[in-house]
Structure 1
Amino acid sequence: MNPIVTVQDAVTAFADWLEPTDAELDAIDREMPVIVADIDLLDAHIATLDRTPTEMDERRIRRARRRALAARVELINHAVTVTGLGA
């Protein structure tokens, strides 16, 4: 016999109060450039997993790494500016 708790968890798993708040969605939107840049960097690395990287592959990885770092710097600078920690 299955306990009722598992049924209750399944029923409430999609309750309205489990949805992300507006603040959480805003935070995801602010972090989206970092997420996209990290995905591009992972794609560049994955493309070279089964072979020796060519010069073009190395360039692609370097560019993706620079974009990922620039996106992180931009996010941190924006956070510092918004919170006033830089003053």
Structure 2
Amino acid sequence: MNHVVTLQDAVTAFADWKEPTSAELDAIEQEMPLILADVDLLDAKIVTLDRTPTELDERRLRRARRRVLAERVALANRTAATSLPGGAA
């Protein structure tokens, strides 16, 4: 007979003290445009996995890549602006 035993870590994995902090949630919120752009790029790539990409697919991929790059630049600029001494923005 096998006994099912839970591990303490598995039981307490969702305890209140293991919630993300406000700073972590703010960082996720700041990165959300980049995350969404990455999801769009993945969607565009997934569409072309099982077929030869059409002209429309190629445009969609280029647009998604440009959006990811633009969001990376914007995120880098936002984080650089907030980390400058003196509060320059």
Which range, TM-score by smaller chain?
Answer: 0.7 to 0.9
- AA matched with 2:46: I
* Equivalent-residue separation in structure 2 for 1:47 and 1:16 (angstroms): 40
% identical equivalent positions? 67
* Equivalent-residue separation in structure 2 for 1:79 and 1:9 (angstroms): 35
Counterpart position of 1:63 = 63
Q: Which has the higher contact order (CA 8 A, sep 6+)?
A: 1
What 5-or-longer segments of structure 1 have no aligned partner?
none
Would you say 1:74 and 2:74 are equivalent positions?
yes
Could you list the structure 1 runs, at least 4 aligned residues long, displaced by more than 3 angstroms after superposition: 1-4
1:53 match: secondary structure:
coil
Which is helix-richer, 1 or 2?
A: 1
TM-score after normalising by structure 1: 0.88
Alpha-carbon deviations, 1:32-51, whole Å to 9, x = none? Answer: 00000000000000000000
* Equivalent-residue separation in structure 2 for 1:2 and 1:46 (angstroms): 40
Would you say 1:43 and 2:49 are equivalent positions?
no
